[in-house]
């Protein structure tokens, strides 16, 4: 049996790592089992890609498509053209994709048109917001995939409502949490950036087009963050897209001169998780960080109008506040005043999602 595993962008790497590892364990007793890792090259900076391979012990990709940046159509098209050649040459039995990035959708469409079966890890998440490129990627991927591995029962319900056959849906848990639990201790012992004190700083991440591509929204968000930063220092590992927009809108220099908002380069996995673990709270528009903070028990203030991960609000430490500056500040101040809910950990977020996925695939 031959599997091609696809990863393209930063949030894919922590999801693919434990799946590769679970396959490796089966390969010890199954010499017929072939597994190849394909990196599409959607993310290519060493800080967005290579450093994650090093931190997570992921072997070098067998194939790198090297597609790089571009518009959505350019990036998706380039992945499809390059991945088609790989599929024709390698003839895998299965292609496995993770998450919701452009590479996920592009490889799914390509494989299905060649009659190759597709498994989607992290299926069924829905923000119901069609202005998000990720929502379009999720819908296209899930309508085509043959096996849909889900992280929670809400995702199962979404898929059933869309008419996905029951036998295709497989609730396995969360491979991103497999990685988190595996590396938690190492992350905790990473040195904090100089001058930061345990629990006495907040972490900020911001990269969604909906937030950073509009000068008005970005200015509003940083207005609120500036006021929060008067009460607690804020560390901001900045995504390349956000840096580019800050420069374009003429906001970069002023932000860099702010003492209490410390803008740093994107961090690799272990230093970032370590930073979050030692923080008082996280302010973010990321998807995966909502899940990681739930498991780590760190309050998470999500600056988006919706989330495809509602379980983190229902059970976890996530508070959805949108981009209204008053709501952002009020959520942060209530965390600072000690009003913090004890989060529960969602079912099957137990570090064993990847073995469940591989067992199910090998039983096909
Ligand atoms: C992508 C994903 C998003 C994910 C995010 C994590 C899609 C539609 N979006 O968004 O779901 O949360 O990754 O980072 O797939 N760039 C670099 N170096 C890199 C990669 C990107 O400088 O290694 C810059 C380029 O200028 C590029 C921009 O960042 O144009 C955006 O990158 P892109 O991959 O298009 O989307 P992200 O915003 O990173």
By most ligand atoms within 8 Å of CB, the mutation choice from 12, 40, 69, 245 for ligand 1 is 69
Q: Who's near 204: CB < 8 A, 6+ residues apart?
A: 225, 234, 235, 236, 261, 282, 283, 284
Q: Which residue puts its alpha carbon closest to atom 9 of ligand 1?
A: 101
Q: What is the 3-state secondary structure (H, E, C) of the chain?
A: CEEEEEECCHHHHHHHHHHHHHHHHHHCCCCCCEEEEEECCCCCCCCCCHHHHHHHCCCCCCEECCCCCCCHHHHHHHHHHHHHHHHHHHCCCEEEEECCCHHHHHHHHHHHHCCCEEEEEEECCCCCCCCCHHHHHHHHHHHHCCEEEECCHHHHHHHHHCCCCHHHEEECCCHHHHHHHHHHHHHHCCCCCCCCCCCCCEEECCCCHHHHCCHHHHHHHHHHHHHHCCCCCEEEECCHHHHHHHHHCCCHHHHHCCCCEEEECCCCHHHHHHHHHHCCEEEECCCHHHHHHHHHCCCEEECCCCCCCCHHHHCCCEEECCCCHHHHHHHHHHHHCCCCCCCCCCCCCCCCHHHHHHHHHHCC
Which residues partner with 123 through β-bridges? 150
By most ligand atoms within 8 Å of CB, the mutation choice from 43, 78, 132 for ligand 1 is 43
Distance 167 CA to ligand 1 centre (A): 34
| pLDDT at residue number 28 | 94
pLDDT-based confidence at 143, cuts 50/70/90? Answer: very high
**Catalytic pick among 207, 231, 239, 278:** 207
Is the pLDDT confidence value at 285 over 90?
Answer: yes
Is the pLDDT confidence value at 134 over 90?
Answer: yes
Distance 61 CA to ligand 1 centre (A): 19
As annotated, the residues of the chain forming the CATH 3.40.50.2000 domain(s) are 2-174+349-362, 186-336
pLDDT-based confidence at 339, cuts 50/70/90? Answer: confident
Q: Which residue puts its alpha carbon closest to atom 18 of ligand 1?
A: 45
In CATH terms, the fold of domain 2-174+349-362 is Rossmann fold (3.40.50)
Is the pLDDT confidence value at 341 over 90?
Answer: no
| pLDDT at residue number 271 | 97
| pLDDT at residue number 331 | 97
Active site residue 239: no
* Residues flanking ligand 1, CB < 6 Å: 9-11, 42-45, 48-49, 69, 100-102, 133-134, 207, 239-241, 244
Cβ-contact 159, 148 below 8 angstroms: yes
Is the pLDDT confidence value at 108 over 90?
Answer: yes
What atom of ligand 1 comes closest to residue 43's alpha carbon?
Answer: 23
Counting residues of the chain whose pLDDT is more than 70, the rounded percentage is: 100
pLDDT-based confidence at 364, cuts 50/70/90? Answer: confident
| pLDDT at residue number 150 | 99
What atom of ligand 1 comes closest to residue 137's alpha carbon?
Answer: 8
Give the tokens for residue 51.
Answer: 């450093």
pLDDT-based confidence at 146, cuts 50/70/90? Answer: very high
To the nearest whole number, what is the mean pLDDT of the chain? 97
Give the tokens for residue 81.
Answer: 């053209």
What atom of ligand 1 comes closest to residue 288's alpha carbon?
Answer: 12
Which residues partner with 38 through β-bridges? 6, 63
Query: What CATH architecture is 186-336?
Result: 3-Layer(aba) Sandwich (3.40)
pLDDT (tens digit per residue) in 21-42? 999 999 999 999 999 999 999 9
The mean pLDDT value for 134-161 works out to: 98
How far apart, in whole angstroms, are the C-alpha atoms of residue 173 and residue 12? 16
Is the pLDDT confidence value at 13 over 90?
Answer: yes
| pLDDT at residue number 340 | 81
């Amino acid at each position: 049996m031959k599997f091609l595993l696809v990863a393209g962008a930063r949030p894919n790497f922590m999801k693919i790592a434990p799946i590769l590892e679970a396959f490796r364990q089966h390969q010890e007793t199954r010499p017929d089992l072939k597994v190849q890792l394909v990196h599409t090259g959607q993310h290519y900076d060493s800080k967005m890609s290579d450093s994650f391979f090093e931190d997570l012990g992921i072997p070098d990709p067998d194939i790198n498509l090297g597609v790089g940046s571009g518009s959505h159509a350019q990036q998706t098209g380039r992945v499809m053209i390059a991945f088609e050649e790989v599929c024709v040459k390698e003839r895998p039995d299965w292609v496995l994709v993770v998450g919701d990035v452009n590479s996920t959708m592009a490889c799914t469409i390509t494989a299905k048109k060649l009659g190759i079966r597709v498994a989607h890890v992290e299926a069924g998440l829905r923000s119901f917001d069609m202005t998000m490129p990720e929502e379009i990627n999720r819908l296209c991927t899930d309508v085509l995939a043959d096996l849909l591995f889900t992280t929670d029962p809400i995702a199962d319900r979404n898929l059933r409502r869309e008419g996905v056959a029951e036998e295709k849906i497989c609730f396995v848990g969360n491979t991103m949490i497999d990685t988190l639990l595996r590396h938690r201790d190492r992350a905790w012992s990473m040195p904090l950036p100089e001058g930061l004190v345990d629990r006495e700083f907040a972490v900020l991440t911001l990269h969604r087009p909906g937030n950073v591509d509009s000068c008005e929204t970005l200015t509003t968000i940083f207005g609120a963050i500036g006021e929060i930063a008067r009460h607690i220092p804020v560390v901001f590992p900045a995504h390349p897209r956000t840096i580019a927009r800050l420069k374009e809108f003429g906001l970069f220099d002023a932000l860099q001169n702010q003492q209490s908002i410390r803008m740093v380069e994107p961090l690799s996995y272990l230093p970032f998780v370590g930073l979050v673990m030692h923080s008082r709270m996280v302010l973010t528009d990321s998807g995966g960080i909502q899940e990681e903070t739930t498991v780590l028990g760190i309050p998470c203030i999500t600056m988006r109008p919706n989330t495809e991960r509602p379980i983190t609000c229902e059970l976890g430490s996530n508070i959805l506040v949108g981009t209204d500056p008053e709501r952002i500040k009020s959520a942060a101040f209530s965390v600072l005043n000690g009003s913090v809910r004890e989060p529960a950990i969602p079912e099957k977020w137990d570090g064993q999602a990847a073995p469940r996925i591989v067992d199910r695939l090998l039983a096909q």
